[in-house]
Structure 1
Amino acid sequence: MNIDYENLSPEMIQLVAAVFLIRLIIWLFYANTVRKTLMLISPENRLITPNQAWLLAIPLFNIYWNFVVAARVADSLTNEFYDRKIAEEEDPGRMAGMWYAWLFLLSNIPLPAFILITIGLLSFVYFIGYWVKVNNFRNLLAEHEKFKKNQRD
């Protein structure tokens, strides 16, 4: 199937632009969740700075950066949970993040449509799952800070 890019209708161009814009906005919200989580981790425990989370919103570069984030956020959380003496899973969120990173990588490789649709759906499911997991860790760290603050008062 060949696509005639020169004769695309204005509606089709608008649809593609809208989908790209919506996807970018979702990536920005996701990056902000990762950034907020990293901000709750003490600087000595971080293996990635909070502002580096914004790199997740750069199309194509984020294919690589998802792997970096999954590994470094998991290691940063492990360090922070150890210092705060919070019992949590080993390598928090690493597997979900890596699954998402691999599926996102595969979804960007030209493959037959039925395979891309399957991988795309799986990628979306793991993306939401990882995002929720990171947000839950952020909430856990925030609650722990509130608890510590109330104990000091």
Structure 2
Amino acid sequence: MGAKRYSGKEITFIFGTVQVKGYARDQSFIAIEGQADAIELELDVSGEPTFRFLNDNSKRITLRLARPSGDNAALTAIYQTQKQTGEIFIAPLTVKDEFGSDIHNAKEAVLAREPNPEFAAGSAGVAEWVFLTGDMNMGHLGS
């Protein structure tokens, strides 16, 4: 059995027609988290619990890019167009590990937040973008 490989260069992030590659170094550059817990607890007046399954597959995705990355310009153009026109840009979003272990797809996603301006001595900095999705298919295929 050969050694397993991993490279951040092999992670594909596509929003609409924008394919991103300028990820930040030395930290998590893509984080996908659920918008809600899968199960909710409700207590009646006597303290008796009822557990309820929520069919919420929406996700919040944080994308961290190196501030000098040219990909920031493409995302900024989308975000600024939304603000100027008042129309939300809805597009498919895919995150894929090119080694074949994970693929996550959403038919509908939006660019919800632009990065806060940050400046640091000795560092180019990180631009943190936030996306929201509707129903996201989380595929863990194994390696």
TM-score, length-scaled by structure 2: 0.22
- Greater strand fraction, Structure 1 or Structure 2: 2
TM-score, length-scaled by structure 1: 0.21
